[in-house]
Amino acid sequence: MTDEPDGDKDVRPQKPPLQPMPWGRYVVWILVFLAITQFWANFQQREERQQISYSEFKEKVRAGEVASVTLKGDRLTGELKRAESQREPADKTLPPTHFVTTLPPVEDPELMPLLEEHKVNIEAKPGDEGWGARLLVLMLPWILIIGLFWYAGRRMQERMGGVGGMGGGAGGAFGFGKSRAKRFERGESTVTFEDVAGLENAKKDLQEIAGYLRDPEHYRKLGAKIPKGILLMGPPGTGKTLLAKAVAGESDVPFYSISGSEFIEMFVGVGASRVRDMFESAKRESPSIIFIDEIDSVGRARGTGIGGGHDEREQTLNQILGEMDGFDPHEAVVVMAATNRPDVLDAALMRPGRFDRKITLDLPDKRARRSILEIHSREVPLDDDVDLDRMAALTVSFSGADLENLINEAALLAGREDKPAVDMACLLLARDKVVLGGEREMVIGDDEKEIIAYHEAGHALAASLLPNADPLDKATIIPRGRSLGATEQIPEEERHSLRPSYLRDRIAVMLAGRASEQVVFNEISTGAEEDLKQATTLARHMVTHWGMSEKLGPVAFRRGEEHIFLGREMAQQKDFSEHTAQIIDEEIGELVRKLEGEVRELLEKHRDQLDMLAKALLEKETLESGEIQSILKREKKRKG
């Protein structure tokens, strides 16, 4: 009776395990052979010489039988003279013409005069280090050569030991063309969708992929085809790589992970060869997942750049396009890619049939931030006073990676202060460190400290008085990060659509520090550099991107856009005239100057409150929002 193979069992032939290359064994045998050869050479050399005593040597010198001697350390070797009339005996053997003797430990004063008297040729050499030293000197070049070959062999083994194994193929010399992708076995990825907080819509889309990979036959019966490519797009730290690992963990299939930059080498054609090798390995083990992180490093638009479009990066991209479009229908291989620059990707890469599904990952909202904090604090002991809801409200615009870093910083602070658990104070300090930077110890004079206090008091007062500004959280004159002081505002809710009134008040708060210096000291300082940059950038976007200029109207201009990369910027055609560019400059300048004048008038009107805030900052250095509101109410009540 013949056993039939189980239909669910994986009967694909398994590749033999990678065997180590036997370079070490070869090196050992070569060294042994060289040692025996050198030992035998020394032995033969010693056998050809006649060993005589020192007294016999002196007798031969007196008899005039010694032609030359060589002094080397405590050994003396020499050559005997042969008489021309000497004939070869019947056995055709002659006594050795070379001899060797050992010099006495005490120098013989008669030796040199005796040798000179009988006209013996004398040669002196440095002391003999022994046959071991001579063997080492003889073998040293061979050791270096063999070591070089051994190192090259090891490097070849490492390069050829990728997913493609040690096979030949298109890898080229030393396996440069083999894929660098890291392979994770079935079940090796322990990350699941439960470990990913938030991103509910993205997880729904990816759960379909995981279900298809777990049971492809179920979907094939329904006539469904698996998407060939899934592109994860979003800001850094939003969980693109984590989602890819979760899909691998949920689907329980082989997972190949590689960064886009790992395809490119200095050799032409290596990137395309690595792409072929990786896709061949994934096809052999389908269903499987290929994850390419930072795909924008190889997937940028072709035909751009100063040097033309025919370069190694484009050859790699062409190979990726060909592999993705050349899948057979029965091959369940899903290509996942992640990028935070989808705008630079090639159009052929983005079309249906390549990356069929595009998933956008946004920064987490308040509820998602709370869940992320819970996940990252699982292994961290938290004190009873920790309020994760408040921390979620205080971490607007934080990504998942930022929240993980926040918990880690809080744990480090608790360890530094030798606390048994992480309390709320540690979390708040960690948040300030992440947002504002670490505190710096600087020696600041009283005059300069007063300028900084009025600068931050101006920001704080404007944020408190302007109706559309974000709520004030704290103001400090303690140097943090690159700044000498900071005033922080935290919005009460997520903002996705910004109104002109909100943007104008936001710019006014940025300019309030500089305006406060003008009001109090009648001059400005260099402390407003970063404020001016942010205010100008926001004003430029209002004028050129969002149509918030009355003079220009509802028209968008590409002025002020970030450089995508050099080639595309050079290829862009200027879509407005020089006259329009002059109007744009005038509108931006007028908007900023007008808002600065308005906030200066506001601070002059509330000069008493400005002085009280600056005085409190000089005394306490840091004021929370409650303290600031208390000071403002007290001063308002006193004036009323």
* Catalytic member of 450, 456, 517, 587: 456
Active site residue 117: no
Please compute, for residue 100, the number of CA atoms within 13 A of its CA located in the half-sphere on the CB side. 11
633 is in an annotated binding site: no
CB 489 within 8 A of CB 469: yes
3-class state of residue 334 by DSSP: strand
Check the CA dihedral 10-11-17-18 and report its sign.
negative
Q: What is the pLDDT of residues 60-71, one digit of tens each?
A: 888 888 888 888
In DSSP terms, 360 is beta-bridged to: 233
Residue 488: strand, helix, or coil:
strand
> Domain residues of the chain, as ranges?
176-360, 366-436, 446-639
**3-class SS shares of the chain: helix, strand, coil, % to 5:** 50, 10, 35
Instruction: Specify whether the CB–CB gap between 260 and 184 falls below 8 A.
Output: no
For residue 460, the model assigns a pLDDT of 93
The answer to whether 330 is annotated as binding is no
The 10 Å CB-count burial string (b at 16+, else e) for 575-600 is eeeeeeeebbeebbeebbeebbebbb
Rounded Cα–Cα distance for residues 278 and 169 (Å): 13
Q: What is the CATH number of domain 176-360?
A: 3.40.50.300
* Closest-CA residue to 226 (of 205, 246, 241, 242): 205
Contact at 8 Å (CB) between 337 and 229?
Answer: yes
CATH number for 366-436: choose from 1.10.8.60, 3.10.100.10, 3.40.50.300, 3.30.70.20.
Answer: 1.10.8.60
Q: For residue 300, what are the β-bridge partners?
A: 345
239 assigned binding-site residue: yes
Q: Is 169 a known ligand-binding residue? A: no
Closest of 134, 608, 566, 144 to residue 344, by C-alpha? 566
Q: Is 237 annotated as a binding residue?
A: yes
Half-sphere exposure of 445 (CA within 13 A, CB side): 2
Question: In 3-state terms, what secondary structure has residue 528?
Answer: helix
Please indicate if the annotation marks 531 as binding a ligand.
yes
Q: Are 361 and 394 in contact (CB under 8 A)?
A: no
Instruction: Count Cβ neighbours within 10 Å for each residue of 320-343 and write b for 16 or more, e otherwise.
Output: bbebbeebeeebbbbbbbbbebbe
User: Which stretches of the chain drop beneath a pLDDT of 50?
Assistant: 1-21, 47, 84-94, 160-174, 176-177, 306-310, 560, 563-571
pLDDT of 319 reads 81
626: Cα separation from own chain's centroid: 42
How far apart are alpha carbons 397 and 63 in whole angstroms? Answer: 107
Residue 91's CB: how many other CB atoms inside 10 A? Answer: 6
Unique residue bearing structure tokens 């606390």: 419
Model pTM greater than 0.75? no
Q: Give pLDDT, residue 330.
A: 54
Instruction: Encode 145-171 in three state secondary structure.
Output: HHHHHHHHHHHHHHHHCCCCCCCCHHH
235 is in an annotated binding site: yes
Check: CATH 3.30.565.10 for 446-639? no
Cβ atoms of 622 and 476 closer than 8 Å: yes
Chain-centroid distance, C-alpha 371: 28
- Secondary structure of 540-579 in the HEC alphabet? HHHHHCCCCCCCCCCCCCCCCCCCCCHHHHHHCCCCCCHH
